[in-house]
Amino acid sequence: SQTIHQWPATLVQPVGSPLSLECTVEGTSNPNLYWYRQAAGRGLQLLFYSVGIGQISSEVPQNLSASRPQDRQFILSSKKLLLSDSGFYLCAWSVQAGGDNEQFFGPGTRLTVL
């Protein structure tokens, strides 16, 4: 069966520090991968998605970036965190072939920027 992992589970970082969040998927090949951010009490904001290795689509211009160095690995990064980067970061995957399939979410990383 397929599983999706995210780490770390929680993170407290000072403003201006770098960020690296990792997401890996097991049990499937060539998944579509997604990064979302959820501010406290708010909805799901799509940040990036990838339909293949090295292919990244950005949805919201900001100080974050994403990379997909391997088929089942998706990394979210920042060189300098802002206070507004605080939130619940969720990685998700879906089977290939379009976006008309269920997305499976990881357990999330709760980021607090102080």
Partner 1 sequence: GENVEQHPSTLSVQEGDSAVIKCTYSDSASNYFPWYKQELGKRPQLIIDIRSNVGEKKDQRIAVTLNKTAKHFSLHITETQPEDSAVYFCAASSSYKLIFGSGTRLLVRP
Q: Do residues 32 and 42 lie in contact, with contact meaning Cβ atoms separated by under 8 Å?
A: no
Q: Does 57 bind partner 1 (CB under 8 A)?
A: yes
Calpha distance 112→90 (Å, rounded) = 14
Q: Does 100 bind partner 1 (CB under 8 A)?
A: yes
Q: Does 105 bind partner 1 (CB under 8 A)?
A: yes
Q: Does 8 bind partner 1 (CB under 8 A)?
A: no
> Nearest approach, Cβ of 38 to partner 1 (angstroms)?
9
Considering only the stretches 18-26, 67-75, 77-85, 102-110, report the one whose residues sit in contact with partner 1 under the rule CB under 8 A.
102-110
Calpha distance 28→16 (Å, rounded) = 36
Residue 89 tokens, joined: 């970061």
**Over the range 66-88, which residues count as b (16 or more CB within 10 Å of their CB) and which as e?**
bbbeeebebbbebeebeeebbbe
Separation of CA 86 from chain center: 14
Residue (42 or 80) nearer to partner 1, CB = 42
Taking CB under 8 A as the rule, which mask of x and - marks residues 20-49 in contact with partner 1?
------------x-x-------xxx-x--x
**Which residues would be at the binding site for partner 1 (CB under 8 A)?**
32, 34, 42-44, 46, 49, 51, 57, 59, 90, 98-103, 105-108
